[in-house]
Amino acid sequence: MHLNPWRILRLGWLGLVLLFLFTPVVVTVLGSFSESWQQRPWEAFTLRWYAYVFETYGPAFRVSLLVALATMLATTLIGVPAAYALVRYQFRGKSLVEDVLLLPLTLPGLALGLAIVQTYALLRGQWLLLLLGHIVFTLPYMVQIVAASLRTSGIIGLEAAAASLGANWWQRFTLVIAPGMRNATLSAALAVATLSLGEFNLSYFLYTPLAMPLPVGMYEAYASLRIEIGSAFTSLFLALILPVLLLGQALGRTKVSSGT
């Protein structure tokens, strides 16, 4: 079999890139099972750091999950109709509206957090302020993902065809729009949940001692200079977020294959 040297070179380069990306993750996970960071896991294996994280930061997992689920639900209810309206209708100032929707992505997390605190001062000290910040931060992603799917999938054209055949709005929604947008909406919702779980800058500015999310708890774990605790926290965070990422990718592949 003839070996293409360029193919070997590309695969080798890909392997090096993957090694560069995943080595820190592997080292972190291994370090979380070590009694001390200087020792190898098989020399001093322990689960005490995981027990410590669950005992000390257990509420942070609950807060992040609740905020992520609530954010995912809110952005879906707000963002999907907004994306549909942006694609379906033509109106004056449409480009300005699209630019304004992207504005939260252009601001640093701390600046966005300060703006939210100043605007909703009555909610200061409550976990609802954290939820509101995550909605503002992730809503543009929901709108953009769903709008892109609507533009490329031809759903708007199918809806127009259904309308020309006499289908009312409810029939068009249940038989054309909702099925066509299902995978894109689920993918966008999972992307929003992932962003919410991992957002630090905004969360650090908006959290309260009674509503500490995962990234802030992880920061405190590393700031305590106990690398083993921080490694266990990071490993648990990866175990939580990786299934969400893999499910989102699976939905994306399903969408592509069904489209082709």
- Say which residues have a Cβ less than 8 Å from residue 55's Cβ, sequence separation at least 6: none
138, part of any domain:
yes
82, part of any domain:
yes
Mean pLDDT of 114-141: 84
Rounded distance between C-alpha atoms, residue 177 and residue 83, angstroms: 12
Q: How confident is the model at residue 2 (pLDDT cuts 50, 70, 90)?
A: low
6, part of any domain:
no
CA distances from 138 to 104, 132, 211 (A): 8, 10, 19
CA distances from 67 to 210, 214, 225, 247 (A): 13, 11, 28, 19
CA distances from 257 to 145, 180, 188, 254 (A): 17, 13, 18, 5
Q: Which structural domain, as residue segments, surrounds residue 138?
A: 60-259
- Enter the pTM of the model: 0.79
Beta bridge partners of 34: 45
In this structure, what CATH number is given to the domain that contains residue 132?
1.10.3720.10
What's the pLDDT tens digit per position in 162-211?
A: 888 788 878 887 888 888 888 888 888 988 998 898 888 888 888 887 78
CA distances from 223 to 216, 218, 228, 229 (A): 10, 9, 12, 10
- Percent of the chain clearing pLDDT 90 (strictly above): 12
48, part of any domain:
no
Number of domains in the chain: 1
49, part of any domain:
no
26, part of any domain:
no
pLDDT at residue 230, rounded to an integer: 82
Angle of helix 5-31 relative to helix 227-259, nearest 10 degrees?
140
155, part of any domain:
yes
What's the pLDDT tens digit per position in 46-95?
A: 888 888 888 888 888 888 899 999 999 999 999 988 888 888 888 888 88
Rounded distance between C-alpha atoms, residue 217 and residue 220, angstroms: 5
- Percent of the chain clearing pLDDT 70 (strictly above): 91
| Dihedral Cα 57, 142, 238, 49, nearest 10 deg | -10
54, part of any domain:
no
Helix (H/G/I), strand (E/B), else coil: 211: strand
Using the predicted structure, report yes or no on whether residue 260 has a pLDDT greater than 60.
no
What's the pLDDT tens digit per position in 230-246?
A: 888 888 888 888 887 77
